[in-house]
Every structure is written in structure tokens, then in C-alpha cells.
Amino acid sequence: MLFPETSLEEALETLERMRQALELGGGMEGECLTVSGGVIGFAPGDTTTTLVGRADAALYRAKAAGRNRIFSDAQLERPEELERR
């Protein structure tokens, strides 16, 4: 999804509300739907490749953190911290 003229914080809040709505009532009777997502902000110099790469990293971080959550690229660890592990 694209959120033009929207801050990263606003997009994160919107996606979190959508996630909660799906969790509470998005499934068939007795079922709970969950969703994991990654949200990023456009930065100067971004290309399609860098945008998709950062969104993908945020998505996988949400899944690794237990699923059913939304992560922004601002919540990602710095690459040098990951290399030390």
C-alpha cells in the first residue's frame, strides 16, 4: 500500500489499526486472522530496489518477532549490530 503525503508514524498507526481489525473480526466464525507487515518511509535517493529491500526487511523482522505485528524500518537494528551476532 502507498500512503502519499503521510508520515511514517501515521502510516504505522493506520496499518496497526487495520491489523487489529482483522484480528478481531476478519475471520470466519471462530477464526482469528493475523497479519504481519513492514512499513517504510521514502528517503532521498531511494530506488525501487532500496524501497522494496527495506520493506521486506521490516516484514521479516515482524515475522521473526512473533508474527501478527507491523514493523517500520525505523524499528530495525543497524546492519553492523546484526553482523556482530
DSSP one-letter string for 26-78: SSSTT------EEE----TT--HHHHHHHHHHHHHHHHHTTSS-EEEGGGSPP
Residue 57 lies in a domain: yes
Residue 20 lies in a domain: yes
Q: pLDDT at position 77, please?
A: 55
Overall domain count for the chain? 1
Residue 81 in this model has a pLDDT that exceeds 90? no
Residue 13 lies in a domain: yes
Residue 29 in this model has a pLDDT that exceeds 80? no
Residue 2 lies in a domain: no
pLDDT band for position 76 (cuts 50, 70, 90): low
Residue 3 lies in a domain: no
Cα 15 from chain centroid (whole Å): 8
For residue range 35-52, what is the model confidence (pLDDT) as tens digits? 999 999 988 999 999 999
Residue 1 lies in a domain: no
Residue 14 lies in a domain: yes
Range of the domain at 30: 8-83
Residue 75 lies in a domain: yes
Q: Cβ distance 40 to 51 under 8 Å? A: yes
Q: Cβ distance 38 to 71 under 8 Å? A: yes
pLDDT band for position 64 (cuts 50, 70, 90): very high
What's the rounded mean pLDDT across residues 22-47?
A: 85
For the chain, what is the mean pLDDT?
83
